[in-house]
């Protein structure tokens, strides 16, 4: 399987598509912003004028889009994938969307003999550029085996977690843990600074113990430097938490910690910080407590 379609060339999608090119795949790309397509053509991809053209040119089609409605529009909308799909193709949605939507799309594509996988990612822009993302996949074992070499070109970890929708459920769990982890890092460091202890000294003291985590390693230094250039934007994380809350209500599962972090993110969105990295949760505590974690010069 060498012909891969790629739809969605944003912060994550562009470096993922470039890594597919580097791995030797023939990539046909589409984005609603044509300048992004042309930029990828300069990297060696073929450009497409519509999702339908991508379906006509590829054996496996990857989407990397903001949310469920965008994926459904690309698949089922005008000049979408659906009418051009043929039996034996694979549809791989690497966006972060609702598990409900993922199952609906999978069932509909199965009617055309197309195997669908929901394969959201974790790792942010830096790992997308390095090709070391973690991919959590929902779908059949047969489809997973067929598509795994493609996914391995953009990821260091590719795991089949269950049937259709399971990948998206796993991603929601991931986003819950990440959101709560970043929030408590900001909250705890704010307390430490208010008590008169340098947060960077606290970071060095605790990073090797039980409080250590990848979130601590990645986000605490951002908080200390005030560098919130997006690795993963607050507005996208809030979108993911909205999908968490939708799913939790469907299943009658109480998720009070997630709901609280969602309220923090809503406050940050209201203050115009939606495009900041989600490490910008520190800005919520800065406003609440009138103390900044940025190192003093």
Give the pLDDT confidence score for residue 21 in this predicted structure: 97
Give the pLDDT confidence score for residue 33 in this predicted structure: 96
Give the pLDDT confidence score for residue 296 in this predicted structure: 84
Give the pLDDT confidence score for residue 167 in this predicted structure: 97
Segments in the chain below pLDDT 70 = none
Instruction: Give span(s): CATH 1.10.1040.10, the chain.
Output: 169-289
pTM (2 d.p.) = 0.90
pLDDT cut 90: percent of the chain above it: 97
Is the CATH number of domain 169-289 1.10.1040.10?
A: yes
Catalytic residue among 2, 22, 127, 171: 171
Give the pLDDT confidence score for residue 231 in this predicted structure: 85
Q: Which CATH architecture has domain 3-162?
A: 3-Layer(aba) Sandwich (3.40)
Instruction: Give span(s): CATH 3.40.50.720, the chain.
Output: 3-162
| DSSP-assigned states of every residue in the chain | --EEEEE--STTHHHHHHHHHHTT-EEEEE-SSHHHHHHHHTTTPEE-SSHHHHHHH-SEEEE--SSHHHHHHHHHSTT-SGGG--TT-EEEE-S---HHHHHHHHHHHHTTT-EEEE--EESHHHHHHHT-EEEEEES-HHHHHHHHHHHTTTEEEEEEEESTTHHHHHHHHHHHHHHHHHHHHHHHHHHHHHTT--HHHHHHHHTTSTT--HHHHHHHHHHHHT----SSBHHHHHHHHHHHHHHHHHHT---HHHHHHHHHHHHHHHTT-TTSBGGGHHHHHHHHHT---SPP-
Contact 223, 279 (CB under 8 A): yes
Q: Is 171 a catalytic residue?
A: yes
Give the pLDDT confidence score for residue 120 in this predicted structure: 97
| Residue 176 Cα distances to 113, 117, 207, 220, angstroms | 34, 22, 21, 18
Give the pLDDT confidence score for residue 124 in this predicted structure: 87
Q: What is the pLDDT of residues 278-293, one digit of tens each?
A: 999 999 999 999 999 9
């Amino acid at each position: 399987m060498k012909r891969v379609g790629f739809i969605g060339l944003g912060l994550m999608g562009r470096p993922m598509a470039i890594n597919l090119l580097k791995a030797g795949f023939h990539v046909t790309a589409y984005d609603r912003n044509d300048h992004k397509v042309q930029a990828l053509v300069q990297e060696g991809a073929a450009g497409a004028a519509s999702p339908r053209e991508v379906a006509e040119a590829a054996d496996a089609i990857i989407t990397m889009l903001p949310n469920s409605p965008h994926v459904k529009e690309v698949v089922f909308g005008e000049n979408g994938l659906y009418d051009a799909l043929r039996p034996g193709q694979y549809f791989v949605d690497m966006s972060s969307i609702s598990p409900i939507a993922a199952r609906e799309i999978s069932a509909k594509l199965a009617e055309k003999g197309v195997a669908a996988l929901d394969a959201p990612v974790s790792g942010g822009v830096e790992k997308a550029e390095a090709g070391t993302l973690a991919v959590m996949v929902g779908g059949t074992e047969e489809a997973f085996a067929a598509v795994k070499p493609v996914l391995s070109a953009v990821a260091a970890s590719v795991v089949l977690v269950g049937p259709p929708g399971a990948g998206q459920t796993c991603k929601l769990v991931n986003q819950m843990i990440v959101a709560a982890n970043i929030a408590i890092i900001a909250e705890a460091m704010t307390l430490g600074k208010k008590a008169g202890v340098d947060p960077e000294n606290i970071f060095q003291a605790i990073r090797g113990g039980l409080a250590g985590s990848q979130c601590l390693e990645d986000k605490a230094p951002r908080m200390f430097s005030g560098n919130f250039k997006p690795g993963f934007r607050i507005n996208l994380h809030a979108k993911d938490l909205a999908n968490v809350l939708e799913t939790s209500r469907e299943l009658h599962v109480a998720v009070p910690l997630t709901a609280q972090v969602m309220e923090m993110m809503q406050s940050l969105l209201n203050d115009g910080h939606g495009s900041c990295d989600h490490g910008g949760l520190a800005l919520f505590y800065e406003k609440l407590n009138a103390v900044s974690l940025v190192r003093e010069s």
